[in-house]
């Protein structure tokens, strides 16, 4: 099983990969030292595989890319932002169930269809 489904996005390609995407995007703001981030990471990877072609799932390392989290007011991690048409459509802070994340992403995919 491929565990590297989620695309790693940086401050420099965030606009191109997330804001200009033609499908809904789930952005996982995380850091290597963050325990809860490591808990949610496998779920994020699974969703990337399951939503392939219908939505994008990307990860932003807040330590290596400080500008983007600051721009979106990310104060604690993990923060998961759901983008649609270049705008934040939904957000979750902390560890969430796979079902909750999938349901929110499904709702955006349905709106986009």
Q: Which of 7, 21, 23, 34 is catalytic?
A: 34
**Catalytic-residue membership of 27:** no
Q: At what angle do helices 98-112 and 35-50 cross, to 10 degrees?
A: 40
**CA dist 111 → 39, 54, 104, 107 (Å):** 29, 12, 11, 6
From 9, 18, 26, 37, active-site residue: 37
Is 34 among the catalytic positions?
A: yes
Which residues are catalytic, by number? 34, 37
């Amino acid at each position: 099983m491929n565990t590297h489904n989620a695309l790693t996005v940086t401050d420099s390609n965030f606009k191109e990969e997330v804001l200009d995407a033609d499908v809904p995007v789930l952005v996982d703001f995380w850091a290597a030292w963050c325990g809860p981030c490591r808990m949610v990471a496998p779920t994020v990877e699974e969703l990337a595989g399951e939503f392939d072609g219908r939505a994008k799932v990307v990860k932003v390392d807040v330590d290596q890319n400080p500008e983007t989290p600051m721009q979106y007011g990310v104060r604690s991690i993990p923060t998961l932002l759901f983008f649609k048409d270049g705008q934040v459509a939904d957000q979750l802070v902390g560890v969430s169930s796979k079902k909750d994340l999938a349901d929110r992403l499904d709702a955006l995919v349905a709106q986009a269809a």
